[in-house]
Amino acid sequence: MLYRNILEKLGKTPMVKIEPRDLGQINLYAKLEFYNPTGSVKDRAAFHILKKALKLNKINKDTSIIESSSGNFGVSLSAYCKEFGLKFYCVVDPQICTANEYLIKTLGAKMVKVTEPDENGGYLLNRIKKVKELLKKIPNSYWVNQYRNPYNSEAYRETLGKEICNELDEVDYAFLGVSSGGTITGVSQKIAEKFPMAKIIAVDMVGSVIFGGRPQKRYIPGIGSSMVPDILKDAHINEVITIDEASTIEMCHELLREHNLFIGGSSGSVFSAVKKYFSGKKFKKKPNVVVVFADRGDRYINTVYNEDWCDNFCQNNFKLKKL
Ligand SMILES: Cc1ncc(COP(=O)(O)O)c(C=O)c1O
């Protein structure tokens, strides 16, 4: 297939069957979102939000795009803003990983780093404060605001949700990690439309407040949040499973060891949630279970895949099994 530009190779990611020995009672299918152009599920939102905002004249070629993100969304927006010829201000904090800092800068975004922790001990509130300051200061600026922007979830309803519904004859369960809520809101809407009996399971991280949990320090980016996303009110969610960082790490390593899948942190959380949910359950007919693996392991090489980090920094000071 010939593409004019790599950023056009968006979506239509592979769906693979995974057959873990202890999950023989289900058919498990994983949508591999790291096959998107910048390596994550967030490319879908970045492309759709910018395209929609241009079409609706909410922005023009001289607009400065502003968003707070230390992770995948910052990388996706940097690439797609560059493609659309838009200036991008990415508000980050000191917890940003080296790879993302390098990618965001190299892709031409202006990086604004917040250094003071907020009253909750995290940085999110101060990052939002900084976004609001920039909006006041920079004329013709536009805040993407992934937590509230309806085009965030629309991106997933119209692309990822559609793909899943077309690729499987039946969906009985879908497990999705939640941060801004865009993926689960859009995908769950599409699945509910085509497979109304399907159960949607939200996967959150210990320490995230999205589903009413107590705030606690979290070290693995991409999943969970210290604020409740507004767009989540339109999601179809049947159950929430909260996973800790230790089991997330354990499952990341298992997926690599046993299934050749070098995936990012949130994919380990989702896999852990599937195991927790189906453990001891029996079915007359194997249900079809779909999971979304949002990114690849490379950006976690100094954390989830690093022995010293696991021993010292993750929530439960996880002891990584020697391979
Ligand atoms: C690795 C990873 N997993 C899951 C998600 C969750 O996606 P959403 O923000 O659509 O809820 C994100 C979002 O940034 C992510 O980076």
- In the chain, pLDDT over 70 holds for what percent of residues? 96
To the nearest whole number, what is the mean pLDDT of the chain? 94
Atom of ligand 1 nearest to the CA of 152: 10
The whole-number pLDDT of residue 311 equals 84
Is the pLDDT at 286 greater than 70, yes or no?
A: yes
Residues contacting ligand 1 via CB (< 6 Å): 40, 42, 71-73, 177-183, 222-223, 264, 266, 294-295
Q: CATH number of 42-143: 2.60.20.30, 3.40.50.1100, 1.20.1420.30, 3.40.50.2300?
A: 3.40.50.1100
Q: What is the 3-state secondary structure (H, E, C) of the chain?
A: CCCCCHHHCCCCCCEEEECCHHHCCCEEEEEEHHHCCCCECHHHHHHHHHHHHHHCCCCCCCCEEEEECCCHHHHHHHHHHHHHCCEEEEEECCCCCHHHHHHHHHCCCEEEECCCCCCCCCCHHHHHHHHHHHHHHCCCEEECCCCCCHHHHHHHHHHHHHHHHHHCCCCCEEEEECCCCHHHHHHHHHHHHHCCCCEEEEEEECCCCCCCCCCCCCCCCCCCCCCCCHHHHHCCCCEEEEECHHHHHHHHHHHHHHHCCCECHHHHHHHHHHHHHHCCCCCCCCCEEEEEECEEHHHHCCCCCCHHHHHHCCCCCCCCCCC
- Residue 263's pLDDT band, with cuts at 50, 70 and 90, is very high
CA 166–ligand 1 middle distance (angstroms):
22
Q: What percent of the chain has pLDDT above 90?
A: 85
pTM of the model: 0.96
In the reported structure, the alpha carbon of residue 180 is separated from the centroid of ligand 1 by a whole-number distance in angstroms of 7
More confident residue, 190 or 315: 190
Span 110-137, pLDDT tens digits: 999 999 988 766 788 899 999 999 999 9
Residue nearest to atom 9 of ligand 1 (CA): 180
What are the sequence ranges of the domains in the chain? 6-35+153-312, 42-143
The CATH classification number of 6-35+153-312 equals 3.40.50.1100
Q: Note whether 6-35+153-312 and 42-143 share their fold.
A: yes
